Structure 1
Amino acid sequence: MQLVQEPTAERLPPRAFQTRRLLAGALQVGTLIGVLVLVAALAPGLGEVRGLLADASLSWIAIAVGLQLLSCLSYVLMFRPIFCHDRSWGTANRIGWSALGMGSIVPASGAAGLALGGWALIQDGVEPERVARRSVAFFLIKGSVNFVAVAVLGTAMAIGLFGPPVSLWLTAFPAALAVLAIAAVLLLPRLGEGTPAPADAGRVRRGAATARSSIVTGTREAIEILRARDPLVIVGALGYWVFDNAVLWAAFNAFGAHVDISIILLGYLVGQLGGLLPIPGGVGGIDGGLIGTLVVFGAPAAATAAAVLVYRVILFWLPLIGGAIGFVALRRSLAGPKPVTRHAARPRVVRERAAVGVGVAQRAA
């Protein structure tokens, strides 16, 4: 006879993921984006930007929305084989879209979204240790496409094989930094997992030991996943990056600005670093980083400001709407009784392991 576990308060979302706080976060980010729109519409000296926005091509904006949808679907495509290959596509869709929606309203470059996904997977019976490792692996695989692209494109542009002539500081230097970052990640497993913290160790020491073990083992798993050449992982990771870049490209075309694709691709990563700032939804950080980087690379200033504004509105609303639908479906799927899993008898361990990922989102929120 199969035992079942009735819903308990322990299976409710952590405080950072509760509906009221998520709605407050979405409202905050939406307000900030609204302020950016008002600045573009009313601030003096931005008449050229307003003129471009008024004459924007709706067909190109519709294309940009479709490309963003393909980017989101690529995220879910990559999410399932890495986190829950033994679960249904319905489960992967609910959790993956929820993670995307969380990433729209909380900073930390998508880490908060992965924390929400990790919590949901643990509630669905996945071992916390596996969730922690796979979260690191997913983050590295998703980000590796950016760094490899910068290394390749920066080198090609520096030696004149691709794109317009640009300073070596804007091509060779970012390429060198990307190569160093890739090398550092590949060397991480050599650090070893470290010694587990003793049972009487403090919370900080236990957290540091768990984080080191998760990062090292997660990096090792990321390398193994890539070596396995799972087509869903490869296509998902490439699609997420390519289509997101294509949204920005389509936004430029909506204003009649034909910016060289190499400028968009190389400026994309550098500009996205602004999303690391602890700002709700990255509003202001990503926007300023993208506009500044693209203008330095030679894109026209007014068209860049208009294109980035459209890009950011799409990047906020589409994942948020899809994420809200996914989160509601996720809450319903987790509300019913679940089979007792082999870690159900040790709830304290589950809570501590889950806190490693969830803590990022709680601090950010």
Structure 2
Amino acid sequence: MLPLALVLVVAVRHWSVLVEGFGHLRRAEWPWLLAAALATCLTWVAAAVTRQGAVMERLPARRLLATQFAAGAANHLLPTGLGASAVNLRFMTVCGVPLARSSAALALYLLAESIARVGLLMGLLIAFPGALRMGGLLPAGAIGPLLLTAGLILCVAAAALLLVRRLRTAVFSFVRTALGEARSVHTRPARALALWGGSLAFPLLQAAGLTAVGQALQLPVPPMHMAVAYLAATAAVAVVPTPGGIGSVEAALIVALVAAGGPVAVATAVVLAYRIITVWLPLLPGALTLGALVRLKVI
């Protein structure tokens, strides 16, 4: 709840900017907004392809796609993607995949998606070195505390592994299972292609959606720079545990688009419209789909 409270405080302090951003939404070009909606729909297809690529068993395609749509609604109940992970874990176990291997496939999916996202960001930063004014992304003196916090978390995790024998045994067992699942998947070219192709397509489609919204609102930032801003912002907020990234994603995207050269009010309008399309419009139908899948015992 703390990140959400901090976001609320920031929103109240910058209320005039939010109001001005909402005012810009009236002049949005609808064809570009429809393109953003299409890109959002294709992200569920990319997620389904990646999920299939992470497991050896063949999963029912239609149910898998419906599960990815429903997982988006579940993602707003728990922080840091835990809702979507729980839904997919349940789906794979119902499909007959053992729990240990389902967990390993879930970890492989998250790892591949993270590698693809960071790899795309690094590649685009090399290709477009002036896309972001990096000095504006973090306040002065913020890097040190962030590194210190990350170091403390790693130290606590390492101490827990060393001191708690049962935890150490469980972690080592899981790692062995995960490595075995990864080796099996990569012996099947079709599975490996689905895993890595879907992992690359997912963030690209998300960035394409933000770029389309930027074009709809005439944000004066080159499309590739908007894509860099999106990847940088989402990579940065991955460690902020807000449900569905609500608040943290909006703040990071606005900062990144401003760092890419966009005016604050227009950048705010772009982010608001993008999150309406990708989060709030699919939320109710996603929740209804989730309930239906539970009643039908698909998950």
TM range (shorter): 0.7 to 0.9
Q: 1:254 to 1:227 in 2, by over 3 A?
A: farther
Q: Which string of whole-angstrom CA distances, capped at 9 and with x for unpartnered residues, describes residues 60-96 of structure 1?
A: 2222111101112211122223247423213322433
**2:118 partner amino acid:** F
Q: State how 1:95-174 maps to structure 2 within 5 Å.
A: 95-108=67-80, 110-158=81-129, 164=130
Unaligned 5+ runs, structure 1: 1-28, 159-163, 172-196, 337-365
Unaligned 5+ runs, structure 2: 138-160
Q: Which residue in 2 is equivalent to 1:214?
A: 174
Q: In structure 1, what is the Cα distance between the partners aligned to 2:134 and 2:291?
A: 49
Q: In structure 1, what is the Cα distance between the partners aligned to 2:51 and 2:75?
A: 14
Q: In structure 2, what is the Cα distance between the partners aligned to 1:96 and 1:251?
A: 23
Structure with greater Cα Rg? 1
Match of 1:313 among 276, 284, 289: 276
Match of 2:201 among 239, 244, 257: 239
Q: Which residue in 2 is equivalent to 1:81?
A: 53
1:245 CA drift (Å): 0.6
Task: Check whether the contact 1:124–1:334 (CA below 8 A) recurs between aligned residues.
Answer: no
SS at 1:278's partner residue?
coil
Aligned length: 268
1:228 CA drift (Å): 4.6
Task: Check whether the contact 1:94–1:329 (CA below 8 A) recurs between aligned residues.
Answer: no
Q: Which residue in 1 is equivalent to 2:63?
A: 91
Provide the TM-score with structure 2 as the length reference. Answer: 0.74
Task: Check whether the contact 1:74–1:237 (CA below 8 A) recurs between aligned residues.
Answer: yes
Q: Which residue in 1 is equivalent to 2:210?
A: 248
Q: Which has the higher contact order (CA 8 A, sep 6+)?
A: 2
Task: Check whether the contact 1:68–1:318 (CA below 8 A) recurs between aligned residues.
Answer: no
Q: In structure 2, what is the Cα distance between the partners aligned to 1:325 and 1:263?
A: 36
SS at 2:96's partner residue?
coil
Q: 1:226 to 1:265 in 2, by over 3 A?
A: farther
| Segments ≥4 residues shifted beyond 6 Å | 168-171
Q: 1:301 to 1:130 in 2, by over 3 A?
A: same
**1:209 partner amino acid:** T
RMSD: 3.6
Q: Which residue in 2 is equivalent to 1:324?
A: 287
Q: Which residue in 1 is equivalent to 2:244?
A: 281
